[in-house]
Amino acid sequence: MTGATWTRWVLALMLAVLGVQAIDLDISSEDSVKDAASTAAYGMMKHYKGNLTGEIPGKIPNTWWEGGAMFMALIQYYHYTGDSTYNSEVITGMQWQSGDCDYMPSNWSSYIGNDDQMFWGLAAMTAAELDFPDSTEGYSWLALAQGVFNTQVARWDNSTCDGGMRWQIWTYESGYTMKNSISNGGLFQLSARLARYTSNATYAEWAERIFDWAVSSPLVSNSTWNVADSTSITNDCTTQGDDQWTYNYGAFLAGAAYMYNYTNGTVSKWYSATHGLLNVTLSEFFPTSHGGEIMSEILCEPLEVCNDNEIIFKGLLSSWLAFTAYLVPSTYSQILPKLQGSAVGAAKTCTGYGNNTCGVRWWNGTWDGWSGLEEQMAVLSLFTANMLPFTSASSGPLTSSTGGNSTSDPSAGTGDSNNDQKTLSKITTGDRAGAGILTVVFSVGWIGMIAWLFMG
């Protein structure tokens, strides 16, 4: 047992002995779910400094992409609870980091990857779909999503592996020779969402193109519905890195659900993809060893080695599962029990420091000693997803014809000098941030330990 693991175990045990209460969640009560989400949101925003004088709006220390994921969680929180407490921070941060309407801000564009930029695009798309309040200055949410799409499809790489998105944008970045699931799955999902929102067939054509390439590569199997993490151009994408992550499955699952809805359920391809990916997701990441109803990041949780990025993944999957249930009603009865079981489990972990700090392992039954912005973000997304039974289908993602009114700009992002590729508008051929390790000198007793932790 490592020192950090020992420390977390001791803290969790002592809090359990002291009888610290978890979040009191009644999964059948709308008010209770909203209260739980409010508690998690407050806990998350205690870690966010971008709204303070001298800090950078939208920027989280040691990472850039997480800001997009955080704002996406808050947009959904506002939509499903009506609590506008954090709307100002969301609007300010998302505009501040917007670059030239494409989320390629000059301060970070030299090192971000395609997946990093894509998450900000998905946050903007979420804002458009959920009718999040517009900024009085700056770009519309839809235009920002379109700007990300435009700059990303310009990087579609036909020179290797017959297509696909590389993980990284620039040749000097580690990972430039890789094509990974989250970059391709994320752009597939963004394209599908733009298609549904705008009814523009160009976006749907791109969604088809990306998905068809993914299932022809080692990344996604359309027979077993296994989603691998990555493949490499060094061997012409003939092998795969088969690490199993929740967000890779979620990215493709939600994209397929959007395409199913966009095509009004008339295309069997999207029905098969949605149900196939869902079935594997639920069997893979809800282990029977933990009762089968609680989500687990199976690759890193058992050994307690999840880094900050990986801690967020379950929250992303939670949100995308809820969207899938809205878009494909036949999945509702499968998804809801998993979201509810996970929420009940997660609430029990929120006993840290006596202030409802939440842990990583939702099946653990108590706080596991982990804490941070990422832990709170994942739980916030999960609690918000559990508003599903208290809402109607119309509460799901909107389109421009069902109440969405974000202004379109199909050429958004095309003039950005930070992007070194031409923009394609029509198909013609059919940070890593390691988790900080908590160390404690356990020699001056309980009070000294807690004081040291809060000052550290």
State the CATH number of the domain containing residue 98.
1.50.10.20
Average of per-residue pLDDT values in the chain: 90
Beta bridge partners of 173: none
Q: How far is residue 104 from each of residues 280, 338, 351, measured CA to CA in Å?
A: 34, 36, 39
Task: For residue 6, name the pLDDT band (cuts at 50, 70, 90).
Answer: low
Residue 119 has pLDDT above 50, yes or no: yes
User: What single-letter amino acid sits at 91?
Assistant: I
Q: In the chain, how many domains are there? A: 1
Distances (CA, A) of 229 to 179, 214, 311, 371: 9, 11, 16, 26
Please tell me which residue, 99 or 454, carries the higher pLDDT value.
99
Range of the domain at 325: 3-455
The neighbour count for residue 436, using CB atoms within 10 Å, is: 11
DSSP state of 390: G
How do the residues of the chain divide into helix, strand and coil, expressed in percent and rounded to 5? 50, 5, 45
Among candidates 281, 371, 270, which has minimal Cα distance to 327? 270
| pLDDT band at residue 5 using 50, 70 and 90 as cut-offs | low
- At position 354, the amino acid (one-letter code) is G
pLDDT at 414 over 70: yes
Residues 156-180: tens digit of each pLDDT: 999 999 999 999 999 999 999 999 9
Q: Given this model, what pLDDT does residue 68 score?
A: 98
With pLDDT > 90 as the criterion, what percentage of the chain qualifies? 85
CA 401/CA 221 separation, integer angstroms: 34
The C-alpha atoms of residue 246 and residue 174 are separated, in whole angstroms, by: 23
**Residue 274 clears pLDDT 50, i.e. is over it:** yes
Q: What is the pTM of this model?
A: 0.89
Residue 22 banded pLDDT, cuts 50, 70, 90: confident
* Proportion of the chain above pLDDT 70, given as a percent: 86
The helix (H) or strand (E) run that includes residue 451 is: helix 445-455
For residue 431, is pLDDT > 60?
Answer: no
What was the pLDDT predicted at 446? Answer: 35
244, containing H or E segment? none
